[in-house]
Structure 1
Amino acid sequence: MHRSISAAVLVLLSLFSTVSMAQTAPVTEQITQLSNIIEKDIAQLPMAKGELKALTEYRINQKTDEMRVLIKELMAKPEANKAFLTNLISNQIKFTDQALQYIRQDIKQLQAQLGQKNDNELMIRIANREHQNIDYQQEQLQNIQWADKLGIDTSAEKTALINQLTYRADRLASLLTFSQSQLKAAIVAATEAGKAVTSAQTDKVAQLKVLMTTSSDNLAKTIDLLDVLKQNTAELKQTLFQVSGDITHDVLNFAVASSLIEQWFNVAQKQLVENGPGLMFKTFIFLLILFTASLLSKVAQRIVAKAVSNSKLKFSKLLQDFFISLSGKAVFTIGLLVALSQLGIELGPLLAGFGIAGVIIGFALQDTLSNFASGMMILIYRPYDVGDLINAAGVTGKVSHMSLVSTTIKTLDNQRLIVPNNKIWGDTINNITAEFQRRVDMTFGIGYSDDIEHAEKVLNEIVHNHPKVLKDPEVTVKLHNLGESSVDFVVRPWTKPEDYWDVYWDITREVKMRFDAEGISIPFPQRDVHIYQTKAE
């Protein structure tokens, strides 16, 4: 049952003739006439030999294609006679099943001849028969779909078709891998022969190329049918992909490559025509959901920002930023998952993949996760906040920004340092501005000959008269130490943290000026040196 380009042309011509015939005779009468012709040709087929057999098969295929076009037209008409269609489709199922049995028997006869004649030529004939077989299996699947629309029970036929396709796909996969190994060996032999290569070797390579191309096409069509019947074809697709990759790499010439590109273009064009509007609509819905999720995430961030800023719990700046960022990202993530589901993507395997990727990333980013954990501890225990002056990890400065990974500190000389959180959390944290009051510790010395009470009075006046010194707690001015060259007083006023250095510098300056004015000396370290002279003996 030869199907060629000329047969396809005749089918197209029959489409135009069918339209003109339908204007003078009902479609049912045309189908009946074609059915009678096909039955007569089938009756003559067992007695036909050689070219007559090929011609009879060709005529049966031609008339069958014309009739199936009419059946498709009739199925689309709501006013069609259901009883006639039911009987017609049932006969089509039986006829297609008989055709499949005929082709399978012919394939067995050809396989029995392997080893007796040219195996490569026989394999090509078998592959062509397999190609005809898949054409009839496609028609049988269409028959089953038509029968389902008419309410005809096709469970047995469907099961039989699945079994046939599964067995056939397994054989084609084996044939592909075997032919691939044979082709590689033939190419190696032809390459090693070089200029001494024989015509038999080149013919063998050419025949194996044709065989693999035909077998790949047959397997691809079989996989498509199994996909329509909702069968698992993952392993078959993997085999086809591996073999197709080797074909592309090793044996494709420019003509075959051009043919494949043209075929892909035609398939892409067909898919665009058939699925383009649906795909565009799904893409529009996907983008619309993402846009809506983006807006909702911003709204969620504003609501959460207002809630945490006005909360009586007094969240830290880091905790506020964390909740605000988390709320926005959570809303957008939910929107993204919903949008992906609209594209037909299964979320279960996707989430499982994210989980596995998370484990891998976790091992790769151990230091970053350590910083993240330290950031969470800082977020919970709040040892400092944005704006605090701290001394941590050997750095002193004002906290200008915080995240779960690092803390940005501006030093007193206006340098910006980004310190990892695990460095800070693993070290002593000194929050200089955590309290509302801070003591300024200063030490001033006078000479041993100076009046202690007078110096103490001057120091008290200086400290108590400073506007930024707090009245409570009480200022401490006490004689502290008798040093080697001075009598030392400790002066300890209290002030606000932000006024610390102003008080320190102002009082130090005022003490020097008042001591000079009051005649109180500020001794510097000195040492007495005694010189003894002795006469030499």
Structure 2
Amino acid sequence: MHRIIALIMLAIVGLSSPSVQADSSNISNELTSLQTSIQQDVAQLSKTHGELANFTEYRIKQNTELLHEQLKELMGEPNLNKEMLKPFIESHLIFIGKVDTYFKNKISKLQNQLGKGDDNKIMMQLSLLEAERDQQLQAYLEVLEWAKTLGLNTGDKTALLTKSLIARANGFNSFVQFTQDKLKLAIKEVSLAGKDVTAEQTLNVTDLKERLSHASSSLGVAINLLDTLGQNTSDMKETLFKSSGDITQDVLNMDVASSLFEQWLTSVQDYLIENGPGIVFKLFIFILILFAAGMISKAVRKLVKRAVSNSKLKVSILLQEFFISLSGKATFTLGVLIALSQLGIELAPLLAGFGVAGVIIGFALQDTLSNFASGMMILVYRPYDVGDLINAAGVTGKVSHMSLVSTTIKTLDNQRLIIPNNKIWGDTINNITVEHQRRVDMTFGIGYSDDIEKTEKVLAEIIMAHPKVLKSPEPTIKLHTLGESSVDFIVRPWAKPEDYWDVYWDITRTVKMRFDAEKISIPFPQRDIHVYQK
């Protein structure tokens, strides 16, 4: 847009085609043709309206951009034709000055309208107009660099531009700070309003943010231009950094960094001087509460352990351990929450966050929660306890430990297996040691030629002589089946669960030795073969 306005002013001033060398006539003719086309469109623009005016502006913009790119390309050629380009650059500097005057007048008119209408709308128009002027100033400095390359005297114009940019940057520096303070106040009002915030308050915050963005952008352009001209802009860069929150290569330099560090150090010192004793006291209270919570947690664990172990309810060891662990952890967690509240942390949002996180974690850990639920069922219904010999989930062994998610079983060959609780609760649980008596089932076979009554007497003597066989219930000794190779007796004494294998192994060994002594055979499978000869 700035190029359109610039060329409009150029047409008003009147730009005469420079004399060119014969070898540059094509380039000169092309540039002159573009200028003529632009001048004709500018003249036509004042007579058109509506969509036709928009189309004419579009043509002017297209030709202006093409003219600028061609000039830039010519300035970048290694064999620079300075004599041909000097008149173009000199004329360019003249009309850019006219365009700057145009911008100043238009901005001044808008500023005079403040307080007479919609100020927010006028401020946004000013921001957009300032953005167009930023482009014009960038183009002006670029043309000044071209003129300097061609050997033209640009000292006065550079000094005027530098003075104008300094004033512009200082103005935007103050305006950015002013807008930032207003934005902070507006945001605070919205926060205090909460659910009662009005649309007007929300719109005010949005307008201030957009206004701050435009002002910061214009300040950034002015800073870049002043840096190119060798001016010190560290204070302005500091303001730009605070408003945007971005660390860029242009902003990050030693002056800005040192200034920001000094301010940060000063603010930290002031804060510590003002609030230091209070912070130290809060930290001391926080640590003291945590220490006290740890001590109380241990005391609560001991009290709960004593209560559940002496309870007449005959609570299982698994449930005892659960209550002891839960009481200690719950006490310490309560102490942590109290300690956090002493630091000024709001517990309600924290607990709400834990609730939301719990739902999310619950979906992610469904299997673990299934184990947890199964563990609770095992604790409540107590199908086994620590030390019991069980057969569950295809594993036989003694229960050595249990948590809410798993049960640790030590097998008979001293292997330690950790089984998820849902595997145990979802399967048949055989608690081998839960009863005080267990029947030992054994079968012994004798030959068909052996004395049955004698065998019964020998088996009875062996059973009754074993010290770990219980007298009640009485053991069972009966002839059971007539097998293919033997006459089979069932022998079923009773013993304590922990004595089961001792009784089984001892009686089996004794039976073999007594049968040998009493000449009672223990047949092995055999088959009679009859051979017939013709």
| TM-score normalised per structure 2 | 0.62
Q: Which residue of 1 aligns with 2:210?
A: 174
Instruction: Return the alpha-carbon distance in structure 1 between the equivalents of residues 443 and 511 of structure 2.
Output: 11
1:387 aligned partner:
387
Write the deviation string for residues 308-363 of structure 1: whole angstroms up to 9, x where unpaired: 10111111111111111111111111111111111011111111111111112112
**Cα distance between partner residues in 1 of 2:177 and 2:382:** 77
Between the aligned partners of 2:229 and 2:324, the Cα distance in structure 1 is 71
Structure 1 residue 174: Cα displacement: 2.4
What SS class does the counterpart of residue 408 from structure 1 fall into?
Answer: strand
| Number of the residue aligned with 2:303 | 303
What is the CA–CA distance in structure 2 between the aligned matches of 1:183 and 1:287, rounded to whole Å?
Answer: 49
Aligned to 2:344: 344
The separation in 1 between residues aligned to 2:444 and 2:226, in whole angstroms, is 108
The structure 1 residue matched to 2:170, chosen from 107, 121, 125, is 125
- State the shift of 1:276 in Å: 1.3
Residues 370-410 of structure 1 deviation map (CA, whole Å, 9 limit, x = unaligned): 11111001001100000000011111111111111111111
Residue in 2 that maps onto 1:512? 512
3-state DSSP of counterpart to 2:312: coil
Post-superposition offset of 1:261: 2.5
Match of 1:328 in 2: 328
Residue matched to 1:72 = none
Change (3 A) 1:133 1:423: closer
Give, in whole Å, the separation in 2 of the partners of 1:135 and 1:519: 112
Change (3 A) 1:206 1:182: farther
- What's the TM-score, normalizing by structure 1? 0.61
Contact persistence 1:179–1:212 (CA under 8 A): no
| 1:96 match | none
Give, in whole Å, the separation in 1 of the partners of 2:202 and 2:229.
30
Deviation at 1:486, TM superposition (A): 0.1
Aligned to 1:363: 363
Secondary structure of the residue that 2:247 maps to in structure 1?
helix
Q: Given the superposition, is the C-alpha separation of residues 136 and 386 from structure 1 closer, same or farther in structure 2, using an over 3 Å criterion?
A: closer
Distance 2:417 2:282 in 1: 48
How far residue 292 of structure 1 moved from its aligned partner, in angstroms, is 0.8
Q: 1:204 to 1:395 in 2, by over 3 A?
A: farther
In the alignment, the residues of structure 2 paired with residue 328 and residue 251 of structure 1 have an alpha-carbon distance, to the nearest angstrom, of 55
Question: How do 1:78-477 residues align onto structure 2 when only pairs under 5 Å count?
Answer: 114=130, 124-130=169-175, 173-178=209-214, 200=225, 203=228, 213-214=238-239, 217=242, 243-244=244-245, 246-248=246-248, 251-477=251-477
SS at 1:330's partner residue? helix
- The alignment partner of 2:397 has SS state of strand
**Aligned-partner SS, 1:247:** coil
Change (3 A) 1:262 1:208: closer
> What letter corresponds to residue 498 of structure 1 in structure 2?
E
Secondary structure at 1:398's aligned position in 2? strand
Q: Is the 8 A contact 1:183 1:208 kept in 2?
A: no
Matches of 1:481 and 1:170, distance apart in 2 = 97
1:408-455 superposed Cα distances (whole Å, 9 cap, x missing partner): 111101111111111111111110001000000000000000011110
Are the equivalent residues in 2 in contact too, given 1:293–1:336 (CA < 8 A)? yes
Per-residue CA distance 1:88-128 (angstroms, 9 max, x = gap): xxxxxxxxxxxxxxxx99x999x699577969756533344
Identical aligned residues as a percent: 66
Q: What is the deviation of 1:485?
A: 0.1
Q: Distance in 1 between matches of 2:167 and 2:202?
A: 23
Shift of 1:175: 3.6
**Structure number with bigger Rg:** 2
1:5 aligned residue? none
Instruction: Answer with 430-439 or 206-215: which moved more.
Output: 206-215
Q: AA paired with 1:173?
A: K
For 2:233 and 2:180, how far apart are their aligned partners in 1?
22
Aligned partner of 2:196 in structure 1 is none
**What code does the residue aligned with 2:460 have?**
N
The aligned residue for residue 528 of structure 1 is 528
8 A Cα contact 2:407 2:420, kept in partner: yes
- More moved, 259-268 vs 294-303: 259-268
Distance 2:395 2:505 in 1: 23
Label 1:210 to 1:508 Cα distance change in 2 as closer, same or farther (>3 A). same
Q: Which amino acid aligns with 1:214?
A: T
The CA deviation at 1:250 is 6.9
Q: Is the 8 A contact 2:177 2:239 kept in 1?
A: no
Deviation at 1:167, TM superposition (A): 9.9
Report the CA distance shift for 1:264/1:532 in structure 2 as closer, same or farther (over 3 A): farther
Residues in 2 aligned to 1:261 and 1:170: alpha-carbon distance in whole angstroms:
31
How far apart, in 1, do the equivalents of 2:497 and 2:178 lie?
91
Separation of aligned partners in 2, 1:179 and 1:134 = 9
Q: Which amino acid aligns with 2:398?
A: K
Deviates more, 1:434-443 or 1:351-360: 351-360
How far residue 526 of structure 1 moved from its aligned partner, in angstroms, is 1.1
Q: Distance in 2 between matches of 1:529 and 1:207?
A: 121
**Letter aligned with residue 495 of structure 1:** A
Secondary structure of the structure 2 residue equivalent to 1:312: coil
Contact preservation (8 Å) 1:172, 1:215: no
Alpha-carbon separation, structure 2, partners of 1:175 and 1:421? 62
TM-fit CA distance, 1:171: 5.8
How far does residue 368 in structure 1 lie from its aligned partner after superposition? 1.2
Q: 1:395 to 1:382 in 2, by over 3 A?
A: same
- Amino acid in structure 2 at the alignment position of 1:422: N
Q: C-alpha separation between the residues in 2 aligned to 1:366 and 1:419?
A: 17
Task: State how far apart, in whole Å, the 2-side matches of 1:452 and 1:438 are.
Answer: 27
Give the 3-state SS of the residue equivalent to 2:453 in structure 1.
helix
**Any idea what the Cα deviations from partners look like across 1:136-190, whole Å, max 9, x if unmatched?**
99xxxxxxxxxxxxxxxxxxxxxxxxxxx99997665324433566789x79xx9
* Distance in 2 separating the partners of 1:249 and 1:365: 47
Q: CA RMSD in A?
A: 3.7
Q: For this pair of structures, how many residues does the alignment match?
A: 367
Distance in 2, Cα, partners of 1:487 & 1:508: 17
1:485 and 1:205 map into 2 onto residues whose CA distance is 116
